[in-house]
Copies of this chain bind each other. A is one copy, B any other.
Amino acid sequence: MDNASLAIQFFLQIAVILVACRVVGALAAKVGQPQVVAEMITGVLLGPSLFGLLAPEAQAWLFPWDPTQQTRDTSAYLFPISQLGLAVYMFLVGLEFRADIIRGYLKSSLAVSIAGMVVPFALGAGLAWVLYHHTELFPERTSLREAALFLGASMCVTAFPMLARIIHFKRLGGTTMGTVAIGAGALGDVAAWLMLAVVLASFDGHLSRSLYNIGGAVGFVLVAFFILRPLLARILPYLLNKEGKLSDGGLLIGLALMSLGAWYTDSIHLHAVFGTFVIGAAMPRGAFTRDLVARIEPLAVALLLPLFFTYSGLNTQIGLIDSWALWGVCAAVVAAAMLGKWAACSIAARATGLSGRDSMGIGILMNARGLMELIIINIGLQRGIITEGLFATLVIMAIITTLMASPLFEWLVARHYEVSEDHGIADLSCTGDPTVEA
Protein backbone atom coordinates (compact mmCIF):
# COMPACT_ATOMS: atom_id res chain seq x y z
CA MET A 1 0.00 0.00 0.00
CA ASP A 2 1.59 3.25 -1.09
CA ASN A 3 1.78 6.50 0.78
CA ALA A 4 -1.00 8.26 -1.08
CA SER A 5 -3.65 5.60 -0.68
CA LEU A 6 -2.95 5.11 3.00
CA ALA A 7 -3.23 8.84 3.51
CA ILE A 8 -6.77 8.43 2.19
CA GLN A 9 -7.73 5.90 4.84
CA PHE A 10 -5.99 8.02 7.44
CA PHE A 11 -8.57 10.82 7.23
CA LEU A 12 -11.44 8.37 7.13
CA GLN A 13 -9.97 6.64 10.20
CA ILE A 14 -9.97 9.97 12.02
CA ALA A 15 -13.58 10.67 11.08
CA VAL A 16 -14.73 7.19 12.14
CA ILE A 17 -12.79 7.33 15.41
CA LEU A 18 -14.12 10.76 16.34
CA VAL A 19 -17.73 9.87 15.62
CA ALA A 20 -17.49 6.46 17.31
CA CYS A 21 -15.90 8.03 20.41
CA ARG A 22 -18.75 10.49 20.56
CA VAL A 23 -21.48 7.88 20.26
CA VAL A 24 -19.90 5.59 22.85
CA GLY A 25 -19.20 8.66 24.98
CA ALA A 26 -22.87 9.66 24.96
CA LEU A 27 -23.90 6.16 26.05
CA ALA A 28 -21.16 6.07 28.71
CA ALA A 29 -22.24 9.45 30.07
CA LYS A 30 -25.73 8.04 30.70
CA VAL A 31 -24.22 5.53 33.16
CA GLY A 32 -21.90 8.10 34.76
CA GLN A 33 -18.70 7.11 32.95
CA PRO A 34 -16.29 9.82 31.82
CA GLN A 35 -15.45 10.40 28.14
CA VAL A 36 -11.96 9.00 28.55
CA VAL A 37 -13.33 5.54 29.45
CA ALA A 38 -15.55 5.71 26.38
CA GLU A 39 -12.55 6.45 24.15
CA MET A 40 -10.67 3.43 25.46
CA ILE A 41 -13.64 1.17 24.84
CA THR A 42 -14.20 2.64 21.38
CA GLY A 43 -10.72 1.53 20.37
CA VAL A 44 -11.44 -2.03 21.44
CA LEU A 45 -14.79 -1.98 19.64
CA LEU A 46 -13.24 -0.70 16.39
CA GLY A 47 -10.49 -3.33 16.59
CA PRO A 48 -10.67 -7.04 15.82
CA SER A 49 -12.79 -7.74 18.89
CA LEU A 50 -16.08 -6.29 17.61
CA PHE A 51 -15.88 -4.45 14.27
CA GLY A 52 -13.41 -7.08 13.01
CA LEU A 53 -15.71 -9.86 14.15
CA LEU A 54 -18.82 -8.40 12.52
CA ALA A 55 -17.19 -7.18 9.29
CA PRO A 56 -13.66 -8.51 8.99
CA GLU A 57 -13.12 -7.20 5.46
CA ALA A 58 -14.36 -3.71 6.18
CA GLN A 59 -12.26 -3.60 9.34
CA ALA A 60 -9.13 -4.76 7.52
CA TRP A 61 -9.77 -2.19 4.77
CA LEU A 62 -10.34 0.71 7.14
CA PHE A 63 -7.61 -0.18 9.63
CA PRO A 64 -5.03 -2.19 7.66
CA TRP A 65 -2.60 -3.88 10.00
CA ASP A 66 0.72 -5.39 9.03
CA PRO A 67 2.33 -7.30 11.90
CA THR A 68 5.63 -7.49 10.00
CA GLN A 69 5.67 -3.68 9.75
CA GLN A 70 7.08 -3.97 6.23
CA THR A 71 4.44 -1.71 4.75
CA ARG A 72 2.94 1.43 6.15
CA ASP A 73 -0.10 0.20 7.97
CA THR A 74 -2.52 1.88 10.34
CA SER A 75 0.16 2.06 13.01
CA ALA A 76 2.46 4.02 10.70
CA TYR A 77 -0.02 6.86 10.52
CA LEU A 78 -1.92 6.76 13.79
CA PHE A 79 1.05 5.94 16.01
CA PRO A 80 3.02 9.20 15.67
CA ILE A 81 -0.09 11.31 16.06
CA SER A 82 -1.32 9.31 19.03
CA GLN A 83 2.11 9.74 20.66
CA LEU A 84 2.02 13.48 20.07
CA GLY A 85 -1.52 13.67 21.41
CA LEU A 86 -0.57 11.79 24.56
CA ALA A 87 2.52 13.93 25.13
CA VAL A 88 0.49 17.12 24.77
CA TYR A 89 -2.22 15.76 27.08
CA MET A 90 0.25 14.89 29.85
CA PHE A 91 1.77 18.35 29.43
CA LEU A 92 -1.70 19.76 30.13
CA VAL A 93 -2.07 17.53 33.21
CA GLY A 94 1.29 18.83 34.42
CA LEU A 95 0.25 22.42 33.79
CA GLU A 96 -2.83 21.89 35.96
CA PHE A 97 -1.00 19.94 38.66
CA ARG A 98 -1.20 21.72 42.01
CA ALA A 99 1.78 20.77 44.12
CA ASP A 100 0.59 23.20 46.80
CA ILE A 101 -2.51 21.15 47.61
CA ILE A 102 -0.57 17.91 47.90
CA ARG A 103 2.00 19.31 50.29
CA GLY A 104 -0.64 19.57 53.02
CA TYR A 105 -1.41 15.86 52.82
CA LEU A 106 2.05 14.58 52.10
CA LYS A 107 2.07 11.90 54.82
CA SER A 108 -1.22 10.31 53.74
CA SER A 109 -0.32 10.63 50.07
CA LEU A 110 3.01 8.93 50.60
CA ALA A 111 1.49 6.14 52.69
CA VAL A 112 -1.33 5.48 50.20
CA SER A 113 1.07 5.64 47.32
CA ILE A 114 3.59 3.20 48.82
CA ALA A 115 0.98 0.75 50.10
CA GLY A 116 -0.88 1.02 46.81
CA MET A 117 2.24 -0.03 44.99
CA VAL A 118 3.82 -2.62 47.23
CA VAL A 119 0.77 -4.83 47.71
CA PRO A 120 -0.42 -4.98 44.07
CA PHE A 121 3.20 -5.37 42.99
CA ALA A 122 3.63 -8.37 45.26
CA LEU A 123 0.34 -9.86 44.02
CA GLY A 124 1.34 -9.24 40.40
CA ALA A 125 4.78 -10.75 40.88
CA GLY A 126 3.24 -13.78 42.60
CA LEU A 127 0.74 -14.19 39.79
CA ALA A 128 3.57 -13.92 37.28
CA TRP A 129 5.35 -16.77 39.06
CA VAL A 130 2.25 -18.97 38.70
CA LEU A 131 1.59 -17.98 35.09
CA TYR A 132 5.21 -18.34 34.11
CA HIS A 133 5.29 -21.94 35.19
CA HIS A 134 1.81 -23.04 34.13
CA THR A 135 0.97 -21.12 30.94
CA GLU A 136 2.57 -19.80 27.79
CA LEU A 137 1.57 -16.20 28.38
CA PHE A 138 5.16 -15.04 28.49
CA PRO A 139 7.42 -15.46 25.44
CA GLU A 140 10.43 -17.74 25.87
CA ARG A 141 12.85 -14.84 25.82
CA THR A 142 11.33 -13.37 28.95
CA SER A 143 12.97 -14.52 32.20
CA LEU A 144 10.98 -15.19 35.38
CA ARG A 145 12.46 -12.12 37.03
CA GLU A 146 11.42 -9.93 34.12
CA ALA A 147 7.95 -11.48 34.03
CA ALA A 148 7.51 -10.83 37.75
CA LEU A 149 8.80 -7.26 37.52
CA PHE A 150 6.64 -6.48 34.50
CA LEU A 151 3.39 -7.92 35.81
CA GLY A 152 4.09 -6.33 39.19
CA ALA A 153 4.66 -2.94 37.61
CA SER A 154 1.56 -3.22 35.45
CA MET A 155 -0.52 -4.15 38.52
CA CYS A 156 0.66 -1.34 40.73
CA VAL A 157 0.30 1.54 38.29
CA THR A 158 -2.45 4.11 38.74
CA ALA A 159 -3.71 6.14 35.81
CA PHE A 160 -2.82 9.52 37.15
CA PRO A 161 -4.40 11.55 34.30
CA MET A 162 -7.50 9.37 34.39
CA LEU A 163 -7.70 9.75 38.16
CA ALA A 164 -7.46 13.50 37.72
CA ARG A 165 -10.29 13.47 35.19
CA ILE A 166 -12.52 11.28 37.32
CA ILE A 167 -11.89 13.41 40.41
CA HIS A 168 -12.82 16.48 38.44
CA PHE A 169 -15.85 14.71 37.02
CA LYS A 170 -17.00 13.82 40.55
CA ARG A 171 -16.28 17.36 41.81
CA LEU A 172 -13.84 16.19 44.48
CA GLY A 173 -11.12 18.66 43.53
CA GLY A 174 -10.59 20.38 46.88
CA THR A 175 -11.61 17.57 49.22
CA THR A 176 -9.30 15.51 51.40
CA MET A 177 -10.20 12.42 49.46
CA GLY A 178 -9.51 13.96 46.07
CA THR A 179 -6.29 15.61 47.18
CA VAL A 180 -4.77 12.52 48.75
CA ALA A 181 -5.76 10.41 45.75
CA ILE A 182 -4.20 12.91 43.33
CA GLY A 183 -1.01 13.13 45.36
CA ALA A 184 -0.70 9.38 45.77
CA GLY A 185 -1.46 8.85 42.10
CA ALA A 186 1.27 11.26 41.02
CA LEU A 187 3.89 9.75 43.31
CA GLY A 188 2.84 6.23 42.40
CA ASP A 189 3.05 6.81 38.68
CA VAL A 190 6.53 8.24 38.88
CA ALA A 191 7.58 5.15 40.84
CA ALA A 192 5.85 2.84 38.35
CA TRP A 193 7.68 4.48 35.45
CA LEU A 194 10.98 4.06 37.19
CA MET A 195 10.14 0.42 37.83
CA LEU A 196 9.29 -0.04 34.17
CA ALA A 197 12.64 1.53 33.29
CA VAL A 198 14.32 -1.10 35.47
CA VAL A 199 12.35 -3.89 33.77
CA LEU A 200 13.23 -2.64 30.30
CA ALA A 201 16.89 -2.17 31.20
CA SER A 202 16.97 -5.68 32.64
CA PHE A 203 15.23 -7.03 29.55
CA ASP A 204 17.88 -5.44 27.34
CA GLY A 205 20.54 -7.03 29.51
CA HIS A 206 21.78 -3.72 30.87
CA LEU A 207 20.49 -3.77 34.40
CA SER A 208 23.21 -1.38 35.52
CA ARG A 209 21.86 1.10 33.01
CA SER A 210 18.69 1.38 35.06
CA LEU A 211 20.71 3.18 37.75
CA TYR A 212 21.70 5.67 35.10
CA ASN A 213 18.03 5.97 34.09
CA ILE A 214 16.90 6.58 37.66
CA GLY A 215 19.68 9.12 38.19
CA GLY A 216 18.71 10.80 34.94
CA ALA A 217 15.09 10.99 36.04
CA VAL A 218 15.92 12.51 39.43
CA GLY A 219 18.29 14.99 37.77
CA PHE A 220 15.61 15.90 35.25
CA VAL A 221 13.05 16.69 37.96
CA LEU A 222 15.62 18.77 39.88
CA VAL A 223 16.66 20.71 36.75
CA ALA A 224 13.03 21.31 35.81
CA PHE A 225 12.01 22.67 39.21
CA PHE A 226 15.19 24.37 40.44
CA ILE A 227 16.70 25.72 37.21
CA LEU A 228 14.02 25.86 34.52
CA ARG A 229 11.21 27.16 36.69
CA PRO A 230 13.12 30.13 38.22
CA LEU A 231 14.61 30.89 34.80
CA LEU A 232 11.18 31.02 33.17
CA ALA A 233 9.82 33.05 36.08
CA ARG A 234 12.55 35.62 35.44
CA ILE A 235 11.89 35.90 31.70
CA LEU A 236 8.12 35.73 32.21
CA PRO A 237 7.59 39.31 30.96
CA TYR A 238 8.98 38.23 27.58
CA LEU A 239 6.55 35.33 27.41
CA LEU A 240 3.51 37.52 27.93
CA ASN A 241 2.28 40.37 25.76
CA LYS A 242 1.38 43.88 26.84
CA GLU A 243 -2.03 42.79 28.13
CA GLY A 244 -0.39 40.17 30.34
CA LYS A 245 -1.55 37.28 28.16
CA LEU A 246 0.51 34.49 26.71
CA SER A 247 2.36 35.64 23.58
CA ASP A 248 2.96 33.54 20.46
CA GLY A 249 6.58 33.36 21.54
CA GLY A 250 5.54 32.09 24.97
CA LEU A 251 3.34 29.41 23.42
CA LEU A 252 6.23 28.34 21.23
CA ILE A 253 8.63 28.15 24.17
CA GLY A 254 6.12 26.07 26.11
CA LEU A 255 5.66 23.62 23.24
CA ALA A 256 9.38 23.42 22.50
CA LEU A 257 10.21 22.72 26.17
CA MET A 258 7.49 20.10 26.22
CA SER A 259 9.04 18.37 23.19
CA LEU A 260 12.51 18.55 24.71
CA GLY A 261 11.20 16.99 27.93
CA ALA A 262 9.53 14.21 25.93
CA TRP A 263 12.74 13.60 24.03
CA TYR A 264 14.92 13.54 27.14
CA THR A 265 12.81 11.13 29.17
CA ASP A 266 12.39 8.92 26.11
CA SER A 267 16.15 8.88 25.69
CA ILE A 268 16.70 7.69 29.28
CA HIS A 269 14.06 5.00 28.66
CA LEU A 270 11.34 6.57 30.72
CA HIS A 271 8.26 7.25 28.63
CA ALA A 272 7.79 10.64 26.97
CA VAL A 273 4.65 11.23 29.06
CA PHE A 274 6.75 11.50 32.21
CA GLY A 275 8.85 14.26 30.65
CA THR A 276 5.96 16.33 29.39
CA PHE A 277 4.18 16.00 32.73
CA VAL A 278 7.24 17.24 34.69
CA ILE A 279 7.83 20.12 32.27
CA GLY A 280 4.18 21.10 32.58
CA ALA A 281 4.30 20.91 36.39
CA ALA A 282 7.47 23.04 36.45
CA MET A 283 6.08 25.91 34.37
CA PRO A 284 5.65 29.06 36.46
CA ARG A 285 2.01 29.32 37.54
CA GLY A 286 -0.34 32.17 36.65
CA ALA A 287 -1.34 33.70 33.33
CA PHE A 288 1.39 31.73 31.56
CA THR A 289 0.12 28.27 32.48
CA ARG A 290 -3.53 29.30 32.36
CA ASP A 291 -3.22 30.61 28.81
CA LEU A 292 -1.09 27.68 27.71
CA VAL A 293 -3.86 25.33 28.78
CA ALA A 294 -6.51 27.47 27.10
CA ARG A 295 -4.63 27.56 23.80
CA ILE A 296 -3.47 23.94 23.69
CA GLU A 297 -6.31 22.02 25.26
CA PRO A 298 -9.28 22.28 22.86
CA LEU A 299 -7.70 20.70 19.78
CA ALA A 300 -5.52 18.30 21.77
CA VAL A 301 -8.47 16.87 23.73
CA ALA A 302 -10.96 16.93 20.87
CA LEU A 303 -8.75 15.57 18.09
CA LEU A 304 -5.38 14.16 19.19
CA LEU A 305 -6.18 12.38 22.46
CA PRO A 306 -9.06 10.21 21.18
CA LEU A 307 -6.66 8.96 18.51
CA PHE A 308 -4.30 7.72 21.24
CA PHE A 309 -6.92 5.88 23.27
CA THR A 310 -8.47 4.36 20.20
CA TYR A 311 -5.11 3.36 18.75
CA SER A 312 -4.32 1.46 21.96
CA GLY A 313 -7.61 -0.37 21.79
CA LEU A 314 -7.12 -1.24 18.11
CA ASN A 315 -4.14 -3.37 19.14
CA THR A 316 -6.30 -5.52 21.33
CA GLN A 317 -7.65 -8.87 20.24
CA ILE A 318 -9.96 -10.04 22.97
CA GLY A 319 -10.54 -13.11 20.78
CA LEU A 320 -7.07 -14.27 21.83
CA ILE A 321 -8.54 -15.09 25.22
CA ASP A 322 -9.99 -18.23 23.74
CA SER A 323 -10.24 -20.76 26.57
CA TRP A 324 -11.81 -21.04 30.00
CA ALA A 325 -8.32 -21.28 31.44
CA LEU A 326 -7.42 -17.94 29.94
CA TRP A 327 -10.63 -16.37 31.16
CA GLY A 328 -9.72 -17.75 34.57
CA VAL A 329 -6.34 -16.04 34.35
CA CYS A 330 -8.13 -12.88 33.32
CA ALA A 331 -10.42 -13.08 36.34
CA ALA A 332 -7.47 -13.70 38.66
CA VAL A 333 -5.59 -10.74 37.23
CA VAL A 334 -8.59 -8.45 37.60
CA ALA A 335 -9.34 -9.62 41.14
CA ALA A 336 -5.74 -9.32 42.29
CA ALA A 337 -5.41 -5.89 40.72
CA MET A 338 -8.60 -4.53 42.21
CA LEU A 339 -8.63 -6.05 45.69
CA GLY A 340 -4.93 -5.50 46.26
CA LYS A 341 -5.00 -1.87 45.30
CA TRP A 342 -8.24 -1.14 47.09
CA ALA A 343 -7.37 -2.85 50.39
CA ALA A 344 -3.83 -1.52 50.54
CA CYS A 345 -4.76 2.09 49.75
CA SER A 346 -7.77 2.15 52.05
CA ILE A 347 -5.85 0.69 54.99
CA ALA A 348 -2.93 3.07 54.48
CA ALA A 349 -5.27 6.06 54.30
CA ARG A 350 -7.12 4.96 57.44
CA ALA A 351 -3.83 4.33 59.27
CA THR A 352 -2.65 7.89 58.59
CA GLY A 353 -5.76 9.30 60.20
CA LEU A 354 -8.28 9.80 57.42
CA SER A 355 -11.97 8.96 57.95
CA GLY A 356 -13.36 5.59 56.99
CA ARG A 357 -15.33 7.02 54.12
CA ASP A 358 -12.39 9.01 52.76
CA SER A 359 -10.23 5.92 52.96
CA MET A 360 -12.79 3.81 51.13
CA GLY A 361 -13.12 6.43 48.39
CA ILE A 362 -9.35 6.71 47.95
CA GLY A 363 -9.03 2.95 47.56
CA ILE A 364 -11.67 2.96 44.84
CA LEU A 365 -10.28 5.97 42.99
CA MET A 366 -6.74 4.59 42.96
CA ASN A 367 -8.07 1.57 41.08
CA ALA A 368 -8.63 3.45 37.82
CA ARG A 369 -5.67 2.27 35.81
CA GLY A 370 -6.76 3.03 32.25
CA LEU A 371 -4.23 5.19 30.48
CA MET A 372 -0.96 4.24 32.15
CA GLU A 373 -1.81 0.58 32.07
CA LEU A 374 -2.36 0.78 28.32
CA ILE A 375 0.94 2.56 27.81
CA ILE A 376 2.90 0.07 29.89
CA ILE A 377 1.39 -3.01 28.32
CA ASN A 378 1.80 -1.55 24.84
CA ILE A 379 5.50 -1.16 25.59
CA GLY A 380 5.58 -4.71 26.95
CA LEU A 381 3.97 -6.07 23.78
CA GLN A 382 6.16 -3.95 21.51
CA ARG A 383 9.33 -5.11 23.24
CA GLY A 384 8.22 -8.72 23.31
CA ILE A 385 8.05 -9.08 27.11
CA ILE A 386 4.46 -10.37 27.03
CA THR A 387 2.40 -12.31 24.47
CA GLU A 388 -0.67 -10.98 22.70
CA GLY A 389 -2.84 -13.20 24.88
CA LEU A 390 -1.55 -11.65 28.10
CA PHE A 391 -1.80 -8.25 26.46
CA ALA A 392 -5.50 -8.84 25.79
CA THR A 393 -5.98 -9.98 29.40
CA LEU A 394 -4.30 -6.86 30.74
CA VAL A 395 -6.34 -4.60 28.47
CA ILE A 396 -9.47 -6.15 29.97
CA MET A 397 -8.07 -5.57 33.44
CA ALA A 398 -7.37 -1.92 32.57
CA ILE A 399 -10.87 -1.45 31.21
CA ILE A 400 -12.64 -3.22 34.08
CA THR A 401 -10.72 -1.46 36.84
CA THR A 402 -11.38 1.88 35.16
CA LEU A 403 -15.02 1.09 34.45
CA MET A 404 -15.63 -0.02 38.03
CA ALA A 405 -14.18 3.09 39.63
CA SER A 406 -17.14 5.37 38.90
CA PRO A 407 -20.07 3.10 39.82
CA LEU A 408 -18.30 1.64 42.89
CA PHE A 409 -17.55 5.14 44.03
CA GLU A 410 -21.16 6.23 43.54
CA TRP A 411 -22.49 3.22 45.35
CA LEU A 412 -20.13 3.07 48.33
CA VAL A 413 -19.09 6.67 48.86
CA ALA A 414 -20.76 9.45 46.91
CA ARG A 415 -24.28 8.91 48.18
CA HIS A 416 -23.12 9.80 51.67
CA TYR A 417 -20.63 12.43 50.70
CA GLU A 418 -21.05 16.20 50.70
CA VAL A 419 -20.25 17.41 47.20
CA SER A 420 -17.76 20.25 47.46
CA GLU A 421 -17.18 23.13 45.14
CA ASP A 422 -14.92 22.44 42.21
CA HIS A 423 -11.38 23.53 42.93
CA GLY A 424 -10.28 23.34 39.34
CA ILE A 425 -8.03 20.32 39.25
CA ALA A 426 -7.39 19.01 35.79
CA ASP A 427 -10.44 20.16 33.91
CA LEU A 428 -9.37 18.38 30.77
CA SER A 429 -12.63 17.16 29.46
CA CYS A 430 -15.28 19.78 29.98
CA THR A 431 -14.25 22.59 27.69
CA GLY A 432 -17.12 24.73 26.61
CA ASP A 433 -19.98 22.42 27.26
CA PRO A 434 -19.89 20.44 30.46
CA THR A 435 -23.53 19.48 30.04
CA VAL A 436 -22.79 17.24 27.07
CA GLU A 437 -20.33 15.19 29.02
CA ALA A 438 -21.78 15.21 32.50
Contact = CB atoms under 8 A, between A and B. Distances in A.
A425 interface: no
Total copies of the chain = 2
Nearest to A296: B299
Interface in A242-264: 242, 245-252, 255-257, 259-260, 262-263
B245 A433 contact: yes
A165 B77 CA distance: 29
Interface string A1-32: 00110011111101100110110000000000
A260 B83 contact: no
A432 B18 contact: no
Contact of A249 (B4, B256, B382, B436): B436
A255 B80 contact: no
Given A11-B266, A18-B252, A299-B299, A382 B436 contact: no
B298 A80 contact: no
Contact of A263 (B8, B246, B260): B8
A180 interface: no
Interface in A220-277: 241-242, 245-252, 255-257, 259-260, 262-263, 266-267, 272
A420 interface: no
Contact of A295 (B15, B19, B299): B299
A83 B80 CA distance: 12
Contacts of A8: 263, 266-267
A355 interface: no
A72 interface: yes
A80 B84 CA distance: 11
A437 B248 contact: yes
B382 A262 contact: no
A130 interface: no
A255 B21 CA distance: 13
B432 A251 contact: yes
Interface string A275-304: 000000000000000010001101110110
A251 B298 contact: yes
A309 to B, nearest CB: 14
A241 B77 CA distance: 34
Which among A12, A70, A84, A241 has the greatest number of chain B C-beta atoms within 10 A?
A84
